[in-house]
Structure 1
Amino acid sequence: MTSQALPGVTLTTVPPGADAEPLRTDVAVFLGRLRRGPVGSPVRVESWNDVVGAFGPVDAAFATPYALRGFFENGGRTAWVLRVSGPGASAGTEWAVGDVRGFPVTRYRVVATSPGAWANGGRVAIRFQASTVAGPPTVSVRVTVPGEAPETFPGLPLAEVADRLTGSRLIRLIPDGPAPHPGEHRPISLSWDLTLTGGADAPPGPREYSAAVAAQAELPEPALVALPDLGTDLTGTAHTDLVLELLRTVLPLLDRLVVLDVPPPLASVDSAVAWVGSLTAGGDSQLLAAAAVYHPPLRTPDGPDLRTVPASGHVLGVVARLDGERGAHHTPANAVILEAVDLAAEFPEPQQLRLFDAGIDLVRCTRGRGLTVWGGRTLSADPRTRYIAHRRLVHLLVRAIRRVAGPLVFDVNSAELRLTLVRAVTSVLLAAFRAGALAGERPEQAFRVVCDDSNNPPEQDPGQLVCEIEVAPAVPMEFIRLRLVLGQDRGLEVIEA
């Protein structure tokens, strides 16, 4: 909030709220490593500046910050970020105040706001000024951490210094000593120069990534998922198991797509094909339809140099950009990738065919257009669930149907409820038809909604209501079949038939 005051006039500007919008299908969630910030707690960001404010500038040791920057540079508007970290340590130091009159305690612990080595070497300069004609005693604090913008907090009341510093992005004060003795010291001024030490990063393991997978599933807004650091943090079967766990978590949600990066080594086609084979070995088309793989990584500007970054962040930005321009039902294939200058690996055509046949979507460099997304397929081999456009249309419909059907869960099963549900679902499908997402010249050719005695016979549990939906996508494919179940004991359930 910013305020400006003139005689007789007060102007107050309040920034727009950042409430979640579950109907959107362009919001991404990134699970990975960052320089600083809360661990395991999702943070909503709407720009690269928001990312830097919450998690610090890019750190060359991690891929997720570069992926997030690529997302916003390619047109992404909103993302959730889950910082994944092992049991690291927060940098800190002791501030011995002593028996200075006005402070509530004689000692504080100064700690970095989050774990990691990022705050090591940070300086905290504290200046005490006794009472003057201008007012009571105050403390001024200046925090400088390498790589971060300095922070200054002037004129803080002594009794409120810890509370006031909760506004810092970099440090917190924790009371860590007794109250001053009755014979308090009353100096004119004092200075303390403190240095933060002891911070340490710890690589996350399967447990930390599993917790992040569970946390993202609780977020209603994200429709796109990326894990840019996963291939570095987990290898072998641990990596494969985590990906499969993620797919099993998002599968019943039916509202989000996981975009994966091929783990290193980058230039090995054999290893890429073998890794995809480890994911597809089970042959579960519904599970594999929740994921797409893009390869190879990209080369992006990083100061005067170039850096290799996973493609997932840039690709999600492209998907989000096209979502806003055309709708969720359009494929990202043949779209231009921005803010990347080269590919990390070049594959001759026979190797490209091997990767394509394995289910990997390629990023290509084409003459006259630069870097483009070439391919829009999931890992599923089933034609009904193979295409990203098909899956994202399902995600859009599921989100919209939940929105209109959710409030009806506790209504009594009756003819009136069935009619209300059919009308609500029909309104969603009509909107998709008018947007060009569905086939046919007339609505009746594009979709069908059935909620009558044929799928709700008299002998059925009266606490359960079934609504069946068939949708014909605009791109020639099989019909999409959804089964909507309202049960007073288990809420709303959407099942893909």
Structure 2
Amino acid sequence: MAGEALPGVSLTSATRGPDPEPLRTDVAAFLGRLRRGPVGTPVRVESWNDVVAAFGPPDGAFATPYALRGFFENGGRTAWVLRVSGPATTARARWAAGPLSGLAATGYQVVATSPGAWANGARVAIRYQASTVAGPPTVGVRVMLPGEPPETFPGVPLADVADRLTTSRYIRLVPDGPPPPPGRPGPISLSWDLTLADGTDAAPDRDAYAEAVTVQAELPEPALVALPDLGADLSGTTRAELVLELLRTIEPLHDRLAVLDVPPGLTSVDEAAGWAEALTATGDAGLLGCAAAYHPPLRVPDGHDLRTVPASGHVLGVIARLDGERGAHHTPANAVILEAVDLAAEYPEPQQVRLFDAGVDLIRCTRGRGLMVWGGRTLSADPRTRYIAHRRLVHLLVRAIRRAAAPLVFDVNSPELRLTLVRALTSVLLSAFRAGALAGARPEQAFRVVCDDTNNPPEQDPGQLVCEIEVAPAVPMEFIRLRLVLGQDRDLEVIEA
């Protein structure tokens, strides 16, 4: 925000955005299609109002906006959004400004801020006023977009108009013509009424989604991932390959969970179960432990109508809400879903059993309580990676361990370094034990940290330090083993053994 404080003095202030918090496990990443907004660039949002400001209101064309609304309505607090798109075109119109002294060019392209058909029909009214006793020549710009609030930029000096419009949500000015001749006086007033056109949408392909998957993996904050439009945008083996690529990308990170939706075209129980069984047929417990699938879709209010939307956004909101209320180590099940009024399909008990056996977690409608999340398992059948609560406990511990160990990566490998590392990790694990995340009546029953000559023998490369961590989650009583390695290049790596 900028304003004139005194003649010749300009005061500008801007709100500083919050810093990412990598230790949090309630932050979600949404990869999908939206009405407008930057393509492939992650945007951090902290409310539904932030989503609408950055990406526009939902218009019924895509599922991701409704998933985001469900996330925030169910208690989510922070999300990263990556808009995925094919080779769309950007709406534009030409402003033939003419030789007005003060402008950088005699013509401009008025270009929408992002690709897509969303800006088609947007009207831009530009009014020029010659210099008066009150000051130099100015222009006023008003942008009117169907379905969104108008923007007004009054009394902008000609030399500043392109810079001032960089704050617009809707348009930018791009010079498109030679500079005007110097010193030529302009008319008393002029006006232009422009309409943007020729913007088009394009469905994303596998490469567009793969790029978004790579980008989200580089964000340290998200611990949850959803792709609400994936089932509609890709099909068959292409869709399955993308899901596996997502899991292969996040599995080495050990710090996030993907929540998947059964593709909307698979309407029968056998088709939905077959989709899940095709994924689990890989047999890779490590990969399958990174994902959970929820079904059926939900019916949510949309103006005066009801709309069917994937369940992933609402489920992520429930997980985020329970994370804040109870902690990441609690099972995100038997919890009420808010701001949804019905299920898209009701299944009798034998069909529910069929989905359960295939690894799909259910959304159920129970008498007296409404819609509820009814499952807390990943797609893995291996007991070590089957339970969402255990996986999210690992995610929390890995994030905390990284934070504790990262300041030590450049220290000399010595007994003092080992002791410092053990103390830092013990502090992290004690906090988890006191929060009820670990089993046992005493800390020594709940976890062990080993970093001594047994796993760092004298003949080992002195540029590598190994620290082994064992934790017993509260239920069931099975140990989870983590291996922390400070490599020769001083990188920090956490490996789940």
Following superposition of structure 1 onto structure 2, how do residues 21-420 of structure 1 map, counting pairs within 5 Å? 21-182=21-182, 184-420=184-420
Shift of 1:410: 1.4
- Could you tell me which runs of 5 or more consecutive residues in structure 1 were left unpaired when the two chains were aligned: 6-10
Give the CA deviation at 1:259: 0.1
Letter in 2 for 1:341: V
For residues 267 and 134 of structure 1, the distance between their equivalents in structure 2, rounded to whole angstroms, comes to 67
Structure-2 change in CA distance of 1:4 and 1:371 (3 Å): farther
Distance 1:355 1:490 in 2: 46
1:102 Cα shift? 2.2
Letter in 1 for 2:365: C
Question: For structure 2, which runs of at least 5 residues remain unmatched after alignment?
Answer: 6-10
Letter aligned with residue 481 of structure 2: R
Compute the TM-score of the two structures, normalised by the length of structure 1: 0.97
The answer to whether the 8 Å contact 2:410/2:490 transfers is no
Aligned residue identity for 1:236: G
Q: CA deviation at 1:99?
A: 1.1
Partner of 2:482: 482
Residue 422 of structure 2 is aligned to residue 422 of structure 1: yes
- Matched AA of 1:376: G
**Amino acid aligned to 1:307:** R
Taking the aligned partners of 2:363 and 2:27, their CA distance within structure 1 comes to 22
Q: Distance in 1 between matches of 2:42 and 2:16?
A: 20
Contact 2:467/2:483 (CA < 8 Å) preserved in 1? Answer: yes
Q: Is the contact between residue 266 and residue 345 of structure 1 (CA under 8 Å) also seen in structure 2? A: no
2:459 partner SS: coil
1:463-482 deviation line (CA, Å, top 9, x unaligned): 00000000001112410100
Tell me by how many angstroms 1:265 deviates.
2.5
Aligned length: 493
Change (3 A) 1:51 1:462: same
- Whole-angstrom distance in 2 between the partners of 1:2 and 1:335: 46
Counterpart AA for 1:279: L
Following TM superposition, by how much is the alpha carbon of 1:146 offset from its aligned partner in structure 2, in angstroms?
Answer: 1.1
Question: Contact conserved, 1:226 with 1:312, CA < 8 A, in 2?
Answer: yes
Cα RMSD, aligned residues only: 1.7
In 2, distance between residues paired with 1:282 and 1:357? 16
**What secondary structure sits across from 1:395 in the alignment?**
helix
| Aligned counterparts of 2:334 and 2:102: Cα–Cα separation in 1 | 66
**1:403-447 C-alpha deviation (Å, 9 max, x unpaired):** 010111111111000000000000000000011101111100100
Q: Determine what percentage of the aligned residue pairs are the same residue.
A: 80
**1:8 — aligned with what?**
none
Q: Aligned partners of 1:182 and 1:407: how far apart in 2?
A: 59
Counterparts of 2:378 and 2:282, CA distance in 1: 15
Q: CA contact under 8 A between 1:32 and 1:230: conserved in structure 2?
A: yes
Amino acid at match of 1:410: F
1:17 CA drift (Å): 3.5
Residue matched to 2:8? none
Report the Cα distance in structure 2 between the residues aligned to 1:44 and 1:349, rounded to whole angstroms: 41
8 Å Cα contact 1:410/1:488 also seen in 2: no
Deviation digits for residues 59-116 of structure 1 (CA, Å, limit 9, x no counterpart): 2010000000000000000000000000100000100011122222100010000000
- SS of 2:173's equivalent in the other structure is strand
Give, in angstroms, the shift of residue 264 of structure 1.
Answer: 2.1
8 Å Cα contact 2:101-2:181 kept in structure 1: no
Give the Å deviation of 1:384: 1.0
Q: d(CA) in 1 for partners of 2:18 and 2:100?
A: 43
- How far the C-alpha of 1:14 sits from its partner, in A, is 7.2
SS at match of 2:382: coil
**TM score, norm. by length of structure 2:** 0.97
Q: Contact 1:266/1:296 (CA < 8 Å) preserved in 2? A: no
Paired residue type of 1:328: A
